[in-house]
């Protein structure tokens, strides 16, 4: 496993981060989830990403159980706040001071820890003054419950505003967590240059484009039974990639992956790690062997000609419009 600094901080994370968005307390039984976390640890992964909204708080509980007994100083725990949780009442959502404070206390209890390394605003809250949000984060940092602060899916302009307030309030805003893959590159035009300027690093989610870049979905054929695209509860996230044009081009990437000694999934993860503003890629897994395979993407340097061929093959199916980085106008509650 390789490790990278997160933004301009002195904090390092593993290049491959284990995330439990769609697996723990949802698709995978707890005992299997715990085995997969232990496989991640055995493979050298030390950084774990979760959120209070995953399985409506239950995913944090599973991760807390899985990490119990580990040397706390030897792991890094990342969680998030914003989406409606618990009873989903009027204050059970957003980035108000009330919700942030109540959310971190709940997360710490579920994760069985006194602090988290990184606390992330899961989206931008248009209904709460940004000053209120950033002051709440500043207070949590000073209380020792949060070491660093990050955001997720914020626009370049929102990141700039947040960083300015963080500097004024005396705490470090060090990361953004966006969707990023060979097929989804909306951060490249604005978010990445702004993040480089301001000292934030990217922790990217869905580097395999919801599994499409693994090559398991074939043009003209239905999604395999039991796959993510076939699951009505999560299939909506993947549908934008499930066209015959996209799937045909993805199949053409297979020889490139083979040329560098990787399978398709490993190749997809290695590709996002070539961006020098990407600190880490989040991968999920429902089985221990998936994690053992994914970590082979760490430390891989893809030749420039391979990167160029990827662009030539995918062509105009790549989504690049920066307006696709956005948060809900309301809190959905």
Give me the residues paired with residue 116 across strands: 146
Q: Cα 145 to chain center, whole Å? A: 21
Tokens of 173: 């805003």
For residues 256 and 261, give the distance between their C-alpha atoms in angstroms, rounded to a whole number. 9
Strands 146-151 and 173-176, sheet pairing: parallel
For residues 201 and 324, give the distance between their C-alpha atoms in angstroms, rounded to a whole number. 19
Let me know: does 286 contact 211? Beta carbons within 8 Å: no
The answer to whether residue 119 is catalytic is no
Let me know: does 49 contact 285? Beta carbons within 8 Å: no
Judging by beta carbons within 10 Å of its beta carbon (0-12, 13-18, 19+), is residue 152 exposed, middle or buried? buried
Taking Cα atoms as reference points, which of 95, 97, 117 lies closest to residue 108?
117
Catalytic residue among 18, 54, 82, 148: 54
Q: Cα 308 to chain center, whole Å? A: 25
E-strand ranges in 190-239 read: 201-204
Active-site positions read: 54
């Amino acid at each position: 496993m390789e490790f990278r600094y997160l933004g301009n901080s002195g904090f390092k994370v593993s290049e491959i981060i284990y995330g439990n968005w769609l697996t723990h307390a949802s698709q995978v039984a707890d005992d299997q989830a715990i085995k997969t976390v232990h496989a991640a640890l055995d493979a050298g992964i030390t950084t774990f990403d979760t959120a209070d909204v995953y399985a409506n708080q239950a995913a944090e509980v599973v991760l807390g159980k899985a990490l119990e007994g580990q040397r706390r100083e030897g792991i890094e725990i990342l969680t998030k706040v914003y989406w409606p949780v618990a009873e989903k009442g009027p204050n059970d959502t957003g980035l108000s001071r009330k919700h942030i404070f109540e959310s971190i206390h709940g997360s710490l209890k579920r994760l069985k820890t006194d602090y988290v390394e990184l606390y992330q605003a899961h989206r931008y809250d248009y209904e709460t003054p940004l000053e209120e949000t950033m002051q709440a984060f500043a207070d949590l940092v000073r209380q020792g419950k949060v070491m660093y602060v990050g955001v997720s899916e914020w626009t370049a302009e929102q990141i700039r505003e947040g960083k300015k307030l963080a500097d004024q309030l005396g705490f470090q805003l060090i990361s953004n967590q966006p969707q990023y893959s060979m097929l989804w590159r909306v951060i490249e035009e604005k978010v990445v240059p702004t993040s480089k300027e301001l000292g934030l690093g990217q922790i990217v989610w869905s580097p395999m484009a919801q599994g499409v870049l693994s090559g398991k979905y074939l043009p003209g054929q239905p999604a395999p039974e039991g796959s993510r695209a076939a699951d009505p509860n999560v299939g909506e996230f993947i549908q934008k990639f499930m066209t015959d044009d996209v799937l045909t081009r993805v199949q053409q990437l297979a020889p490139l992956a083979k040329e560098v000694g990787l399978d398709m999934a490993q190749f997809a993860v290695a590709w996002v790690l070539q961006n020098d503003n990407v600190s880490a890629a989040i991968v999920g897994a429902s089985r221990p062997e998936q994690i053992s395979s994914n970590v082979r993407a760490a430390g891989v340097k893809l030749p420039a000609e391979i990167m160029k061929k990827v662009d030539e093959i995918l062509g105009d199916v790549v989504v690049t419009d920066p307006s696709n980085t956005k948060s809900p106008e309301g809190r959905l509650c």
